Amino acid sequence: MIISFIQRAIMQGIPLLYGSTGEIITEKSGNLNLGIPGIMYVGGISGVIGAFLYENSLSSPDAANPFLIVFIPLICCIFGSFVMGLIYSFLTTTLRANQNVTGLALTTFGIGFGNFFGGSLIKLTNTDVPSITLSLTSSYFSKTLPFASRLGVVGEVLFSYSFLAYSAIIIAIITTLFLNRTRAGLSLRAVGENPATADAAGINISRYKYTATCVGSVIAGLGGLYYVMDYACGIWSNDAFGDRGWLAIALVIFTIWRPNLSILGSILFGGLYIVHNYLTGIMPNINMGTQELIQMAPYVVTIIVLVAVSARKKREDLPPESLGLTYFREER
Amino acid sequence: MSENRDRTTKEPLFHISKRVSLPMWLLWTIRIASVAAALIVCAVVIVLFTGDNPISIYKTMIEGAIGTERRVWGLVQSTAMLLCVSLAVTPAFKMKFWNIGAEGQVLIGGFATAACMILLGNKLPPALLMVVIIVVSIAASAIWAVIPAIFKAIWNTNETLFTLMMNYIAIQLISYYVYKWSVPAGSGKIGVINSGTEAGWFPELFGQKYLLNIIIVAVLTVFIYIYLKYSKHGYEISVVGESENTAKYIGINVKKVIIRTMLLSGAICGIAGVLLVSGTDHTITRDTAANRGFTAIMVSWLAKFNPFYMILTSLLLVFLQKGAIEISTVFGLNDSFSDIITGIIIFFIIGSEFFLNYKIKFRKSHKEVADK
């Protein structure tokens, strides 16, 4: 039971890890993108649309091309979330709109977009299937490493996940190295801390903000895709993704803007999300209400971290200094 | 072009500078143009999905929003509720305190109302119960809102993230109590509270269920307008919002202003909670606030923090919502369609802000190359 708990916790954590890595990159450029929940929905539904159209164009399940069936949803997801990132960057960087308002509008739009297509895709494409069930695509997305089952407990805990799960961890590690070990990463952090200084040092502010936001959105969008294709076994149901997007933003604060800590943090948050299912075995009289209280825990610890960090005022733990502010060169 | 090449420094294609002020007609032309552009884009989107002609679709929308007397009342009621939450967030925003926790603050207010109705419904006379409900709800929301403000004042804790997290704590807290108090036990729903006695319900005025709500919000609108524009508190809020350093320099106690303003913000959220639970739904769920806390931020921002403009902006958003829901019903589409439309409209309006605040000067002696 412990093993299956760890497994489920990691699978719950992966979308959060994608979301928080994406948001960290974005926030390091000084953009507080509150559109992440919407972007994750769009990433998920874009992949679903791609997979749905491809699956329905097949004459039989055997005709599926193993490369295309993974590639099409992936590229659709990347495209969908990239466009969302582009909308955000265009409005906040080029048109200097308020970041909070833009982000919230993006979330409204994105969740609406996801639920709309989730609810209307079948009608719009005139196909006669009862629900969006992409078990074929999902079976490719959730392929695990072939030797996982032969390694016993170690194999189940460490090697029983799909390629998107491992990519999430690899992306988080690469992001950490990028931010701390490369020149471009240093410049990106400079843009987020103090754009005026970075500008004076010859860094192209707009380019960094655009790139960071769009790359961040794409990474976050993959989290949505992972959720639908692997965790939910290819079944799209409206609002099933829930508040995971906001949880991803909480995770950013909880891990004090460090993607490598996010790997552990996401598993912890994922565990808290599902722990009530396993507590029933130990405490039989636990009820649905208590489960809601346990789900409160990630937010409470996040606030504690946020307050603690701000009280300690240790420079490297604080949020990027210009987070949430628009930069206009002439206005200093 | 050849002259430009001789120069050592290249002149950019255009440069952007801040506008000092804008004539009224231009201001409104840009705004109306942006809404019009948004409606055209929405029309294209709608036609793509429904295949019907846009005029008849906009007719359907208007029909859905104001087609019958009942719908008009529904529209006004929804507008009033959104406006009330928008009024609540406005003082804090004017101070540049990004309170995105109105959702949670409204929920806590509504929760306090529901708790009073459930626990005291049969124990107090109706008038006293109403007073208790109002006091407790306002206090609960104000306390909920002031927690992030206190940390902001002491340690400069990031209020955007703090208030955001508080929303979900409120939601989970309410989910917990909804299970605890559910009727019948274990169903996970509270249902209509005191449906027999109607204790703690707002009375009907002139046979209209929502009239009292609407009147309260109207009074509140005028109050906030006067408070922000003519009171000393309002002046202090705008100074802190413009420049915290200036505020300190002229002797305003910034911490006090932050805490006081958030208390007010929370209190109005509490009123919104009372209106939603006592005056509208007579029940509480985790969706009672229905994302109004977030939508209110857009309403307030689009109206430039002016309470009277907020009537227009909240009406616009609610109208679109109701209209889009009607379209989805008629064409058998999912009703999240309204969120897409709302999103597009807001993108356009906040995008147009740029042209209100900045002007673009193109390079002289060069063919005009407009990129937009």
Residues of A whose CB is below 8 A from B351: 90-91, 95, 97
pLDDT value at residue B271: 92
> What tens digit of pLDDT does each residue of B277-300 get?
888 888 888 887 778 888 888 888
What's the rounded Cα separation, in Å, for the pair B75 and B60?
15
Q: Which long-range contacts (CB under 8 A, 24 or more apart) does B304-307 make?
A: B305/B90, B305/B93, B305/B94, B305/B228, B306/B225, B307/B87, B307/B90, B307/B221, B307/B222, B307/B224, B307/B225, B307/B228
> Chain B contact for A127, CB < 8 A?
no
A159 in contact with B, Cβ within 8 Å: no
Q: Which pLDDT score, from 0 to 100, does residue A290 have?
A: 76
Distances from the Cα of B251 to the Cαs of A221, B91, B240, B256, B257, in angstroms?
48, 20, 11, 12, 12
Q: Which residue has the higher pLDDT, B80 or A318?
A: B80
pLDDT of res. B3: 47
Least confident of A83-92, A151-160, A288-297, B270-279: A151-160
> Which of residues A181 and B354 earns the better pLDDT score?
A181
Per residue in B110-136, pLDDT tens? 999 888 888 887 777 878 888 888 999
Q: What is the pLDDT of residue B372?
A: 41
Q: Is residue B273 one of the residues assigned to a domain?
A: yes
Determine the pLDDT at residue A76. 93
Tell me the residues of chain B between 307 and 336 that have a Cβ less than 8 Å away from chain A. 332-336
Q: Is residue A331 over pLDDT 70?
A: no
Q: Quote the number of domains for chain B.
A: 1
Taking CA–CA distances from A99, the nearest residue in chain B reads B350
pLDDT attached to residue A85: 94
pLDDT given for residue B371 in this prediction: 47
CA angle A68, A69, A74 (to 5 degrees): 85
Mean local confidence (pLDDT), A32-54: 90
Are residues B98 and A287, on separate chains, in Cβ contact within 8 Å? no
More reliable by pLDDT, A76 or B23: A76
Average pLDDT over residues A264-271: 89
pLDDT higher than threshold 80 for residue A1: no
Q: How does residue A151 score in pLDDT terms, banded at 50, 70 and 90? A: low
Question: Is A262's pLDDT higher than 60?
Answer: yes
pLDDT value for A274: 81
Q: Is B151 on the interface with A (CB under 8 A)?
A: yes
Whether B128 is covered by a domain: the verdict is: yes
Average pLDDT, stretch A220-225? 92
Most confident of A150-159, B1-10, B64-73, B229-238: B229-238
Establish, for the pair of chains A and B, how many residue pairs have beta carbons separated by less than 8 Å.
Answer: 175
Q: Please report the pLDDT score of residue B284 as a whole number.
A: 83
Q: Does any CB of chain B come closer than 8 Å to the CB of residue A107?
A: yes
3-state secondary structure of B208: strand
Residue B7 pLDDT > 60, yes or no? Answer: no
Return the pLDDT at A149.
64
Can you tell me the ipTM of this complex? Answer: 0.84
Domains, chain A, ordered by start:
2-317 (1.10.3470)
Average pLDDT over residues A299-303: 86
Is the model's pLDDT at B199 over the cut of 80?
A: no
Mean pLDDT of A11-27: 92
Q: Which domain holds residue B181?
A: 80-319
pLDDT digits (tens, 9 = 90+) for A98-125: 888 899 889 989 988 888 888 777 777 7
In a domain, B295, yes or no: yes
Would you state the pLDDT for residue B1? 44
3-state class (DSSP) for residue B272: helix
**CA pair distance A10, B141, nearest whole angstrom:** 36
Q: Which residue of B has its CA nearest to A294?
A: B172
Using a CB–CB cutoff of 8 Å, tell me whether B298 touches chain A: yes
Q: Which of A104, A105, A307 sits opposite B155 (nearest CB)?
A: A307
What the block records as the tokens of B119 is 């626990």
Omega within 30 of 0 (cis) for the link into B91 = no
In the prediction, which pLDDT does B221 show?
A: 92
Tens of pLDDT along B219-270?
999 999 999 889 988 888 888 888 888 888 888 888 888 899 999 999 999 9
Mutate to test the interface with B, among A115, A299, A301, A318 (most CBs of B within 10 A): A299
B10 min Cα distance to partner chain A (Å): 16
How close, in Å, is residue A286 to chain B by CA atoms?
Answer: 12
Q: Using pLDDT thresholds of 50, 70 and 90, give the confidence band for residue A95.
A: confident
> Does B357 touch chain A if contact means CB atoms closer than 8 Å?
yes
Nearest to B33, CA basis, from B349, B338, B268? B349
Q: Is residue B114 part of a domain?
A: yes
- pTM, two decimals, is 0.87
Region A277-285: what's the mean pLDDT? 68
* C-beta of residue B274 within 8 angstroms of C-beta of residue B137: yes
- The answer on pLDDT for B149 being more than 70 is yes
Does B28 contact chain A (CB < 8 Å)? no
Residue B38 has a CB neighbour count (10 Å cut-off) of 20
What pairs with residue B208 in β-bridges? B205
3-state DSSP of B6-18: HCCCCCCCEEEEE
Ranges of beta strands (E only) in chain B are 14-18, 358-362
DSSP states along A228-253? IIIITTTB--TTTTTTHHHHHHHHHH
* Contact with chain A for residue B14, Cβ under 8 A: no
Confidence of residue B369 (pLDDT cuts 50, 70, 90): very low
Query: In terms of Cα–Cα distance, which of B281, B272, B290 is closest to B339?
Result: B290
**Of all residues in chain B, what percent carry a pLDDT higher than 70?**
91
Per the CB < 8 Å rule, is B354 touching A95? yes
Greater confidence, A121 or B275?
A: B275
Mean pLDDT of B202-230: 84
Cβ contact B168–A34 (<8 Å): no
- CA distances to A60, A103, A329, B344 from A321, in Å: 55, 19, 17, 30
Give the containing element (helix H, strand E) for B349. Answer: helix B337-357
Selected residue of A108, A239, A330 to mutate for chain B interface (largest B Cβ count, 10 A) = A108
pLDDT at site B364: 63
User: Are the Cβ atoms of A34 and B100 closer than 8 angstroms?
Assistant: yes
- From chain B, pick out residues whose CB is under 8 angstroms from the CB of A118: 334
Chain A CB contacts of B177 below 8 Å = 289
pLDDT value of position A171: 93
Token pair of B347, please?
Answer: 């993108």
User: Binning pLDDT at 50, 70 and 90, where does residue A94 land?
Assistant: confident
Which has more confidence, A293 or A219? A219
The mean pLDDT of A248-266, rounded to a whole number, is 88
Question: Chain A contact for B37, CB < 8 A?
Answer: no
Q: Residues A257-271: what's their mean pLDDT?
A: 88
Per-residue confidence (pLDDT) for residue A239, from 0 to 100: 76
Q: Are B294 and A119 inside 8 Å of each other by CB?
A: no
Confidence of residue B85 (pLDDT cuts 50, 70, 90): very high
Amino acid present at B228: L
Is pLDDT above 80 for A58? Answer: no
- Average pLDDT score over chain B: 82
- Give CA A114 to chain center in angstroms: 15
Assigned domain for B37 exists: no
Q: Do B160 and A100 touch (CB under 8 A)?
A: yes
Residue A180 near chain B (CB below 8 Å): no
Asked if A115's CB is within 8 angstroms of B157's CB, the reply is: no
Residues 234..263 of A with a Cβ closer than 8 Å to B: which? 238, 243, 246, 249-250, 253
pLDDT at A260 over 60: yes
B188–chain A Cβ distance below 8 A for any pair = yes
> Which residue, among B173, B185, B24, B166, has the nearest Cα to B112 in the 3D structure?
B173
> In this structure, what token pair is assigned to residue B269?
């959220």
